[in-house]
Amino acid sequence: MRTITRSTLVVVFLLFPVAVFAADLQKGLAAFNAGDYATAMAECQPLADEGNVEAMFCVGRMYANGFGVDMNDELALKWYGLAAAAGHAESQYNLGVMHANGWGVEMNDVPAVGYYKLAAEQGYPPALTALGFSYKHGAGVEKDLVAAVMWFDIAAQRGDLTAASERDDLADSMTDSELQQAQQAALKWLSGLDGKTMHADRVE
């Protein structure tokens, strides 16, 4: 009788954590959006440890901003980096921002631009706009206003109003030939965005 009871308890113990205590990504993300960061961390951290990309990004955001935890740039870089390596565009962009601002790393626009390009290849608007500013100011790349207008135009066509304003302001100071070059490059890039790997490089 004791043996049967013990076996039954073992089966229940093995199944119970899976059925009841399994981390829930959607619950974690909903909690994050609601500002319940304790629940968000409790749900997302175990999944991040298992390699879930969205969970890694969520944990990275909490450490980057000090949401429910002490702000920790090292851990933010770790979790953003893991998610970025798996192709998560917003993590790639956020890594660029951290490098550009020197948060947890030496301030350096060169790697920042590299991360922006990775995110831009997926059409992520903030990264497209960031590339526009990079080329406008020569931050991490050679200054190139034609390239800046190209990236601002691409971002504007994907809904970024700031990029549209920047594009229009720069266009006022460009020749018709330069503006046409930038617009054609933007159209070419956008035409290859879906289903292809795009290389975010300067306008040739």
CB 132 within 8 A of CB 152: yes
Burial call 31-45: b when 16+ CB within 10 Å, e when fewer: bbeeebbebbbbbbb
Q: Angle of helix 53-65 relative to helix 73-85, nearest 10 degrees?
A: 160
SS3 63: helix
pTM of the model: 0.83
- What pLDDT sits at residue 193? 81
- What pLDDT sits at residue 200? 36
Low-confidence ranges of the chain (pLDDT < 50): 1-21, 195, 197-204
Q: Which of 81, 26, 34, 22 is nearest to 55 (CA)?
A: 26
Secondary structure element (H or E) that encloses residue 204, with its range: none
- What pLDDT sits at residue 23? 77
Task: Return contacts of 97-100, CB within 8 angstroms, 24+ apart.
Answer: 97/130, 98/64, 98/73, 100/139, 100/140
Tokens 């497209």, located at residue: 128
